[in-house]
Amino acid sequence: MIPDWPSERKAMTEQQLRRRGIRDPRVLGAMLEIPREEFVPPESRVCSYGDEPVSIGYGQTISQPYITAFMVELLELQGDEAVLDVGAGSGYHAAVLGALAASVVSVEILPALAAVAESNLTRTGRHRNVTVVAGDGSRGWPGRAPYDAISVAAAAPDVPPALLEQLKDPGRMVIPVGARTDQELLVITRKEGRIESRVATYCRFVPLRGERGWR
C-alpha cells in the first residue's frame, strides 16, 4: 500500500513543527509543499515523515524535519534573497530554501551525493532556482557571492572565514559550531557593519569536511 504522503506531511507539520513552536507561515507552507519522500532513499521511504534523521548513504543523513524547519525559520527569509546552502545531501533542505527565497546555491563535497541532490531537485521540479554544485562549501561558493543568507548543515570547529566574507550586510547565517559530537547552532547576523552571534539551540550534526572542517 502506498502511504498517503500529503496526510503524513500535514501530520508532521502539525505535530512536529507547529506544536514545537515553528510559527512562520511561509516556513510551514514550504514544509507542507515539498515532498520529503522524494528526497529519501527508496528503502527508507516509509520513514520520510518520522521525527528523526534519515540515512542517505555515505554516512550522511537528512536532518529531522523539525531541524530543517527551525534552521530555515531562523533565516527569516522574505522571498527575494540569494542563499548559500552548505551540505546539499539529498537536496531536501535546499528545496525548502528554494521555496522561500529567490535563488539557492547548494554545495556538496561528495560528488555522488551532489548527483543525488541534483536528480531529486530536478525530478520534483525544484531546480528552477536551486543550483547544486560539487565542491568544498567550507570555502563558501565565491562564484555567486555575496549571499543574503547562509545555511550550513554540517558541524564546523569554527565559523569558516570564507562564509563570513561571503555574507552580505545585512545578512544572516545559521551554522552548527563546536565539538565533533555536539554543537551549538549559531545564528550570526551582520548589520550595519557589526557581526553578532547567538546560540539558538544545542544540536548534533555530521562533521563538516574540507579545508575549514574536520580532518
Which residues have C-beta within 8 Å of that of residue 36, sequence separation ≥ 6? 9, 12, 48, 49, 62, 65, 92
Query: Is residue 63 annotated as a catalytic residue, yes or no?
Result: yes
Select from 67, 69, 87, 149 the one that contacts ligand SAH (CB under 6 A): 87
- Residues that bind ligand SAH (rule: CB under 6 A) add up to a total of 26
- Under a CB-based contact definition with an 8 Å cutoff, are residues 148 and 83 in contact? yes
Nearest alpha carbon to residue 196 among 159, 166, 147, 145: 159
CA pair distance 136, 148, nearest whole angstrom: 20
String marking each residue 94-133 x if it binds ligand SAH according to CB under 6 A = -------------xxxx--x--------------------
Which C-beta is closer to ligand SAH: that of 82 or that of 109?
A: 109
Which C-beta is closer to ligand SAH: that of 87 or that of 171?
A: 87
Q: Is 21 left (phi over 0), alpha (psi -120 to 50) or beta?
A: left
Residue 155 C-alpha cell reads as 558541524
Select from 13, 16, 48, 90 the one that contacts ligand SAH (CB under 6 A): 90
Catalytic residue among 63, 90, 138, 151: 63
Which C-beta is closer to ligand SAH: that of 13 or that of 60?
A: 60
User: In this structure, are strands 82-86 and 103-108 parallel, antiparallel, or unpaired?
Assistant: parallel
- Where does this chain bind ligand SAH (CB under 6 A)? 56, 60-63, 86-87, 89-90, 92-93, 107-110, 113, 136-138, 153-154, 206, 208-210, 213
